[in-house]
Structure formats: structure tokens, C-alpha cells
Amino acid sequence: MDFPITRAAALKAKPDPSTLVFGKTFTDHMFLMDYHAGQGWHDGRIVPYAPFQLDPSCMVFHYAQEVFEGMKAYRTPEGKIQLFRPIENARRINSSCERMCIPQIDENLFVEAVKALVKVEADWVPDQKGTSLYIRPFIIATDASLGVHASHSYCFCIICCPVGSYYPEGINPVKIYIENDDVRAVRGGTGYTKCGGNYAASIRAGERAEEQGYSQVLWLDGVHRKYIEEVGAMNVLFKLDGKVVTPALEGSVLPGITRKSCLELLRSWGVPVEERRITAEELFDAAQAGKLEEAWGSGTAAVVSPIGELAWGERKVTIHGGKIGALTQKLYDTLTGIQWGTQPDPFGWVVKLD
Ligand SMILES: *Cc1c(COP(=O)(O)O)cnc(C)c1O
């Protein structure tokens, strides 16, 4: 697949990789593709990174008909660039599109578009330990019209930003707060999609958690308000009495690619894994009985983020003495080894750029 490339007239200075702040610096180019009813997706192209001009009545501004993805390009020790399971992002954006009545994109075209843009921006993929190029594909509804129905036109865009190491000072377990009032998603809603609306609804609880000194919110299910769902932008896994348990995917939880990769690795190591419902009560009781051995979040940004403390109303527990556990560490080392190409890739997860 060949996409026409319009080069930026002047290239930006590359930021210092040791001081990179997530999501603030964008590369020189972006990928664009348009959709019009009757015409389908057309005119995939790479152009200089620049602001959009959109009509104020544009549907995405009013009804949030929008989906996105998050993935990374990694620099290997040989200086090559590789992606991690990009076809999974292509499948997931299409699953999100289906729910939001957005026309789907051919999965190979999606991956080829990502590869083409990253090739143009190859110099932006940093090479310091733990750094990467974050890739944000997204689709917005562009009909200039108020009135709630599916748009007839869309814009698919991919932007990239270099990101520093998530753990510049080593892995520090995080403190997480279980939210009792706001809910993120219910079955039948959009919880399993990556759509901006889910995040808009989560901001208030995130602010409350921060005010109380917690870094993220752990959501409970929206119906019974007792089953664990996930953390902010991460899925959550627990080592409970020798087994790994994680909430089952029942429509309200985002099907994370890092979650899936953790489960596949754990199964390959012979670790018993259960995908099921877990109540907050069960977790806190297990912690009191000394059986909550490890807990961690999983997501593209952090890979694996150990949870050192959980708070639920008046109840608070410390997990693994507030330090990363051995299994969490092994998952982190294995996943990052595969992603950055310092370890073999037995599952064929990596897609090399050249
Ligand atoms: C993206 C995301 C995740 C993690 O998914 P990965 O594919 O592992 O990055 C988890 N929860 C939510 C709500 C997300 O948006």
C-alpha cells in the first residue's frame, strides 16, 4: 500500500528524551484518510502535522461519535523499529467502530497506515532505555450537522508523540482508590470500546482520587457496585492464593492487549489463570487473610504497573509490602523484552518495520 507523502517544509527540533512529558510533543507528520457515504474510506495520505479546520456544528463536538487507539513503536538494540501486536489494535478499533456506528477500516490498511507513518517519522523513535514513540490513531465524525444520527463523513487520523520512560526512577507501586459513587460503564454501554466519552465520564472520579493522594481510580461494576472492573486506562490483575484472577470481559471492561498478552504468557508458564467476577469484598478479605499476593494494572503506557496500596472506603490494604512482586516483575521483564527486542518473541507478536 502506497500513501502519498507531503513532507513538512521545516522539521521540528527533537526533544531531549530524558525530559519528555507524555502527550505534549508531536512529530512532524500525520496520517489522514477520509470517509464519505457512497465512497467509503479514501485518500489515505501523510501530510505535515497541523491543526484541523472543522465546522463548529461538526458531529464529534456535540455527540462524541469518536473512537481511538493507543500503541507504540519501539527501538531495538540494533537500531531497528518494531510494533507490538498492531493487528490487535486494528481489530479493536473496528470493534469500537461497530458500537459507535462508525464505518470500519480494513485491518491491513490500518496496520499499513501506522507502519507508513512511523517510517516517515523514524527519526522520532527515541533510543534511550524505556522510551518509545506513542501512536494515537483516531476517527471522528465530521458531518456539519446537529441532529442525532450516524455521521455520513469521517476523518481517520494518526498522530505520534515520543514518550520517555514510564519508570525513570525504577518501578514504584501505585496507590489506587476504589470508586463507590461514579461508574464508568455498564453492560450494553460503551465500556468495551476505546471512545472519548468513556474518559469524559471518568474525569470527576479521577480528580477526587488525586485530591486524596491516590494516583488512579479502580472502578466497580455499574449495576451491583461490587465487582472489580478496571483501573483508569489499565486492566487489573491479581495474584490470589497462587492463581492469577482478572475480571472477565463481559462488555463493560476494555479488552486490553497488554491484559491479553499477560494472560497468554501466564498460561504458557503454567500459572493458573481465572477470568471471572471478583468482588471488592473478596479482595479485601483475601488481603486480610494474607492471600492477596500481588496486584498490578496492565496497559500500553506502563506495560505493567504494580499496585502497592488499595483503599475502599475506610478499608485500606498494602499489597506485597508496597513493593513489586516476583510474578509482576517477570511479566514486566518479559513483555518489555519482547517489545524492545531484547528477548526472543516466541508468539510472533512483534512486527518489524523493515
Ligand atoms: C486502552 C485501555 C486499556 C489498556 O489497553 P491496552 O491495549 O493494554 O493498552 C485499559 N482500559 C482502558 C479503559 C483503556 O482505554
Q: Is 229 in the pocket of ligand 1 (CB under 6 A)?
A: no
The pLDDT value given to residue 295: 97
Where helices occur in the chain by DSSP H, the ranges are: 59-63, 86-99, 107-120, 196-200, 203-211, 257-268, 280-288, 326-339
For 296, the grid coordinates are 498490578
Pocket test for ligand 1, best of 218, 234, 339 (most atoms within 8 A of CB): 234
- Domains in the chain: boundaries: 17-163, 174-339
Q: Is 185 in the pocket of ligand 1 (CB under 6 A)?
A: no
Confirm whether pTM is higher than 0.95. yes
Q: Is 184 in the pocket of ligand 1 (CB under 6 A)?
A: no
Kindly report the CATH class assigned to 17-163: alpha beta
Atom of ligand 1 nearest to the CA of 261: 8
Atom of ligand 1 nearest to the CA of 89: 7
Q: Is 190 in the pocket of ligand 1 (CB under 6 A)?
A: no
* Other beta carbons less than 10 A from residue 229's beta carbon: 23
The pLDDT value given to residue 17: 81
Gap between the Cα atoms of 177 and 219, Å rounded = 9
Q: What is the pLDDT of residues 6-61, one digit of tens each?
A: 999 999 999 988 888 889 999 999 999 999 999 999 999 999 999 999 999 999 99
Q: What is the pLDDT of residues 175-187, one digit of tens each?
A: 999 999 999 999 9
Kindly report the CATH class assigned to 174-339: alpha beta
Three-class secondary structure of residue 5 per DSSP:
strand
Task: Give the phi and the psi of residue 93 in degrees, each rounded to 5.
Answer: -65, -35
Residue type, 309: E
Q: What is the pLDDT of residues 96-109, one digit of tens each?
A: 999 999 999 999 99
Mean pLDDT, the chain, integer: 96
Q: Is 179 in the pocket of ligand 1 (CB under 6 A)?
A: no
The pLDDT value given to residue 168: 78
Measured over all CA atoms, what is the biggest interatomic distance in the chain, rounded to whole angstroms?
A: 63
Pocket test for ligand 1, best of 228, 254, 296, 336 (most atoms within 8 A of CB): 254
Q: What is the pLDDT of residues 113-171, one digit of tens each?
A: 999 999 999 999 999 999 999 999 999 999 999 999 999 999 999 999 999 888 877 88
Gap between the Cα atoms of 100 and 64, Å rounded = 9
